[in-house]
Amino acid sequence: MNHFGHKPLIDFGGLPVFAELCVYELFRLSGWEARWLETYGAPAAGPYLFTNWLDVPLKQQQHQPLRVAWVAELLEVIAAYNKGRYGGCWDVIGWHGKTIVFAELKRRKKDRLQTTQPLWLEAGLRAGLQPENFLFVEWDFDSSI
């Protein structure tokens, strides 16, 4: 399987997935819409938007555009406040009705906040979002198994 730069896989309902897709699925199973936002290797016009991961290189993955205008517009506004860049965009975006949440995932003791990620948070707040619209998700493997 193409592990996107050796990203670890976790078991979600018996399926091997990246942590970002696990959070995407948790949003979806809760009745929300969501996307995994990936800026690595993405065009300057915006992040890749994923709902799954195929065993193919990044450029061949299936991009799932946002079909909800206000969500797409909000991403553009935040990027504008972020000096026109999507760099630092958080990992997963979920929305339900008019409620939106950006989730940033960090593997415990293996990952750290990048300097661009607080800038995305700041841009989101300047765009009118509140702190409760942002969620940190710390995860790790269960060492007791």
Separation of alpha carbons 55 and 100, rounded Å:
30
Domain with 126, as residue range(s), is 10-139
Quick: pLDDT tens for 46-101.
Answer: 899 999 988 888 788 888 999 999 999 999 999 999 999 999 999 999 999 999 99
The pLDDT assigned to 2 comes to: 62
Q: How many domains does the chain have?
A: 1
Q: Does any domain span residue 81? A: yes
**145 domain-assigned:** no
Give yes or no for a contact between 102 and 47, defined as CB atoms under 8 angstroms apart: no
Residue 1 lies inside a defined structural domain of this protein: no
pLDDT tens-digit readout, 111-141: 999 999 999 999 999 999 999 999 999 999 8
Q: Are 125 and 90 in contact (CB under 8 A)?
A: no
Please check whether residue 2 lies inside any domain of the structure.
no
> In this structure, are residues 140 and 109 in contact, taking their beta carbons and an 8 Å threshold?
yes
**Separation of alpha carbons 107 and 96, rounded Å:** 26
Q: Kindly report, residue by residue over 46-60, the tens digit of the pLDDT.
A: 899 999 988 888 788
> Which of 110, 89, 98 has the alpha carbon at shortest distance from 35?
89
Cβ(105)–Cβ(20) under 8 Å? yes
Judge whether 56 lies within some domain.
yes
54 assigned to some structural domain: yes
Residue 121 belongs to a domain: yes
The answer to whether residue 3 is domain-embedded is no
